[in-house]
Structure 1
Amino acid sequence: EAGKGLSTADVSPNGIMSPFDESMTSLNLYHTGIDFYHRYKEDIALFAEMGFKAFRTSIAWTRIFPNGDEEEPNEEGLKFYDDLFDELLKHHIEPVVTISHYEMPLGLVKHYGGWKNRKVIEFYERCAWTFFKRYQPKVKSWMTFTEINVVLHAPFPGGGLVFEEGENKRTVMYQAAHHQFVARALAVKAGHEIIPDSKIGCMIAAPTTYPMTSKPEVVFAAMGQERKTLFFSDVQARGAYPGYLKRFLAGNNIEIEMAEGDEDLLKKHTVDYFGFSYYMSMAGSTDPEDLAKSGGILLGGVKNPYLKSSEWGWQIDPKSLRITLNTLYDRYQKPLFIVENGLGAADKVEEDGSIHDDYRIDYLRDHLMEAREAIADGVELIGYTSWGPIDLVSASTAEMKKRYGYIYV
């Protein structure tokens, strides 16, 4: 509708871990969403009624550049976001906007190979410049990528990657990540030039990893698991590849191709704040039996026997949010923003229309209490936006019954 092109999200009907379905076209898409595109005004009115001060959203790349490589943007798409941001501001809700959220034009996958191709940096930079110029009076808080570290775990939604026979998958994924790092640095550079008072952050999925035992090898394994996440934040917040990652790449015969000037870009254009999602913690182990029981954990690791789990196997650990906040702030000394946090559950609607979701109330209350404790610890926490304020199709499992919202759809 309104000139939008097909995206990677459109052809992932079974969730972010599912393979790319090449049979999908604009004629046979079968995801039914919540129609925010047409109903955003009534949704925003409900957010305002709840007292929201900020609303995190993203701009669909394919609404602005339907195939990804166009020279000129789609005006209908730009106009939609003008109207959306105006509606938020009318209700005194600040828009917090992500440039790329698990979505890129399918044309860039088919014709360029997704983020494995350095050319995509140019297309992303064009997007960023277009967004910043158009929306500079309305949007001051930006994020470059959602959960950028997920490219190593869900490479198609995270990087538009479809592997060819014989390709070294890990090399391709780390090369794609490097291209995203460079694109992110260029976006920060552009944002600061176009909107001097803007704040541009990164965003990762950031679960704390506990060692399953105090055995030194297990402690080191847990540290290694956590470093797979922290590598992504080190590059974006500190501006350089850490030594431990360089050693890992060399030891696994992974060679990242860097252009002249890449390292300088990363160093000069670090993020203004650090955004992250937090849903659960996980544990690290060297025991094969533990590793065999790790189902449901997207970022790897194993389940912690001391914690309860949601219906979908996500472990509930409010205390770890405080640990994560302290760890990240100690490491980077940058303002932190919890941009996703919530509990997916199958809510039951009673005959009178009520929903007794005490489990979600408990989850959110307990996590917010730990966030407050982190602030008392000295952490600079600038915001909290939950996932999601209104029910929507779950990205991880492509289910509508896995609900998160304060508002039932």
Structure 2
Amino acid sequence: MFTKQTGFPKGFLWGGATAANQIEGAYLEDGKGLSTSDLVAYKDPYAKGVVDNFTFNVNSSELAEYLAHPDNYLFPKRWGIDFYHRYQEDIALFAEMGFNVFRLSISWARIFPTGLEEEPNEAGLVFYDKVFDECLKYGIEPLVTMSHYEMPITLTQKYNGWLSRELIPLFEKFATVILERYKNKVKYWITFNEMNMTLNSLYTGSGILEDLVENKLEAAYQASHHQFLASALAVKAAKKIIPDAKIGCMINQIEAYARTTKPEDQLQAVKSNQLNMFFPDIQARGTYPSYMTRYFTENAIELVMEAEDERILKEGTVDFVAISYYMSHVTEAREDASELAVTFDSPIKNEYLELSQWDWPIDPIGLRISLMKLYDRYELPLFVCENGLGAKDVVSADGNIHDDYRINYIKKHIEQMQEAIEDGVDLMGYTTWGCIDLISCGTSQMSKRYGFIYVDQDDQGMGTLKRIPKDSFYWYKKVIETNGAYLEE
């Protein structure tokens, strides 16, 4: 009963993570339709007049312009890193590192080009058959995200995305099709990527054109409610179609620290963490938490629900809780505290932490804190399915990429995961973001690199696409070979 777990457990899942819209390319090949991610234009951070180059949001006028004059803009997520044609080469490299799990997503628009079709696109289904077969050939388990920041653009145009309840049966159909098709190939599933990021970007998280809504916060929670229902129905379908399936939810974990010991700051830290936990609270427990009642009232949020919704949520709870973890936040009692709580990066910097090249606080201990709190709260297995360092990697004169800074970053986070396991946390696995260089979600840059594998391509899509293992590639291979023990040498 009180046997202490030391080190990573046998069967721990080691690998890397990606998303379809950031790696595949072939954006209209083999019947695929346009997705929301295909309509995100690159903003050169060095161009004159660019205040910031974040590409999270697209409004209705921008969408109309992009559709009418696509040749006037760059859309990096349309070309990705050409995984669509190079998946065999890439998966072979993952296998060389020793991956036993590879997290990837399925493009909804590749299976149902507009989201409205009665029958799925067979060519799209065949592509993922080949990808999963290639993984399984090497003993790599696919961990599949059903929806990772993309949906058919038609559903944005017709319904304004997840703001409409009409998307629930459409997603349920999509989920059922892929569950049935891959029931003998995929055991591990996540319904929605980082559900709480809808609060940060209506367009990225829910396909909503925010200039068409009056109360943006209400729209975010209404869209999230529809996603909760769709997720619950997908979970229910998965357990019926694949009896031994493990299906989870996912959030971007943002652990909030109080800026001072002042009680008001401490209270705000509790409130900020509640806003983050709201999403897995519903998906893991199957009911709306009581603490949101006051929050909804104070923010004039009135959700439209139907009588059957409570039952659906209760019947569709997840098997595990997955997180991405990149940084912690600092919060304090101030008027905009609730708004800052749901932003990706807090403007209040922690004086005790160093920053990445993109000014993200680096806080490995925050990962241990997060895992301890999450496991105490849900008593469900946890999965760290995104964690990594974005950096400007340079090919040295010897033709190699010496990324000791990435090795140091990941090493420290793995050490804290091991500490959390010894604390009693049930941790299933770890997939770094992204195991191969890919298009950045937030900025559509290629030069913000995360991978163990360098891809020769620049921000404008120019390059040979040659794959080059970095120093971190060989280091991570040793980590996996020793099930994490290499860190102790």
Q: Distance in 2 between matches of 1:139 and 1:258?
A: 33
Q: Distance in 2 between matches of 1:295 and 1:384?
A: 26
SS in 2 for 1:118: coil
Q: Which residue type is aligned with residue 370 of structure 1?
A: Q
> Partner of 1:345 in structure 2?
391
> Partner of 2:102 in structure 1?
55
Q: Which residue type is aligned with residue 439 of structure 2?
A: V
> Partner of 1:298 in structure 2?
344
> Partner of 1:19 in structure 2?
58
The question of whether the paired residues in 2 share the 8 Å contact of 1:285 and 1:301 is answered with: no
> Partner of 2:83 in structure 1?
36
Which of 101, 108, 114 aligns to 1:67? It is 114
Q: CA offsets, 1:243-274, max 9 Å, x none?
A: 11122112222111111110111112210000
Which of 335, 359, 364 aligns to 1:318? It is 364
1:380-395 to 2 correspondence within 5 Å? Answer: 380-395=426-441
Which of 213, 227, 230 aligns to 2:277? It is 230
Which of 445, 453, 457 aligns to 1:407? It is 453
Q: Distance in 2 between matches of 1:243 and 1:287?
A: 23
Q: Which residue type is aligned with residue 152 of structure 1?
A: L
Q: Which residue type is aligned with residue 17 of structure 1?
A: F
1:7 to 2:41 alignment: no
The question of whether the paired residues in 1 share the 8 Å contact of 2:104 and 2:142 is answered with: yes
Deviation at 1:25, TM superposition (A): 3.7
Q: Distance in 1 between matches of 2:217 and 2:343?
A: 19
Q: Distance in 2 between matches of 1:16 and 1:152?
A: 15
Q: Which residue type is aligned with residue 380 of structure 2?
A: K
Q: Distance in 2 between matches of 1:261 and 1:275?
A: 27
SS in 1 for 2:432: coil
Distance 1:287 1:249, change over 3 A: closer
The question of whether the paired residues in 2 share the 8 Å contact of 1:96 and 1:141 is answered with: yes
> Partner of 2:301 in structure 1?
254
Deviation at 1:296, TM superposition (A): 12
Distance 1:263 1:340, change over 3 A: same
Aligned length: 406
Bigger relative contact order (CA 8 A; separation at least 6): 2
Q: Distance in 1 between matches of 2:138 and 2:104?
A: 16
> Partner of 1:170 in structure 2?
217
Q: CA offsets, 1:122-154, max 9 Å, x none?
A: 110001000000000000100000000000111
1:372-383 to 2 correspondence within 5 Å? Answer: 372-383=418-429
Deviation at 1:302, TM superposition (A): 2.5
Deviation at 1:18, TM superposition (A): 3.5
Deviation at 1:68, TM superposition (A): 0.8
Distance 1:199 1:351, change over 3 A: same
Q: Distance in 2 between matches of 1:108 and 1:287?
A: 38
> Share of identical aligned residues, percent?
52
Which of 319, 325, 331 aligns to 1:272? It is 319
Q: CA offsets, 1:153-190, max 9 Å, x none?
A: 11101001113556211111110000000000000000
Q: Which residue type is aligned with residue 75 of structure 2?
A: Y
> Partner of 2:469 in structure 1?
none
The question of whether the paired residues in 1 share the 8 Å contact of 2:386 and 2:430 is answered with: yes
Which of 150, 168, 179 aligns to 2:226? It is 179
Q: Distance in 2 between matches of 1:203 and 1:408?
A: 27
Q: Which residue type is aligned with residue 97 of structure 2?
A: M
SS in 2 for 1:62: helix
Is there any run of 5+ residues in structure 2 with no aligned partner, and where? 1-28, 43-53, 456-489
Deviation at 1:47, TM superposition (A): 0.4
1:359 to 2:398 alignment: no
Q: Distance in 2 between matches of 1:90 and 1:166?
A: 48
Distance 1:300 1:184, change over 3 A: farther
SS in 2 for 1:386: strand
Q: CA offsets, 1:95-130, max 9 Å, x none?
A: 000000000010000011100000000110001000
Which of 182, 195, 198 aligns to 1:135? It is 182
Q: Which residue type is aligned with residue 155 of structure 1?
A: L
Q: Distance in 2 between matches of 1:240 and 1:375?
A: 28
> Partner of 1:88 in structure 2?
135
SS in 2 for 1:408: strand
1:322-333 to 2 correspondence within 5 Å? Answer: 322-333=368-379
The question of whether the paired residues in 2 share the 8 Å contact of 1:225 and 1:301 is answered with: no
The question of whether the paired residues in 1 share the 8 Å contact of 2:199 and 2:342 is answered with: no
Q: Which runs of 4+ in 1 moved over 6 A?
A: none
Aligned CA RMSD, in angstroms, stands at 1.8
The question of whether the paired residues in 1 share the 8 Å contact of 2:222 and 2:304 is answered with: yes
1:219 to 2:266 alignment: yes
Q: Distance in 2 between matches of 1:325 and 1:350?
A: 37
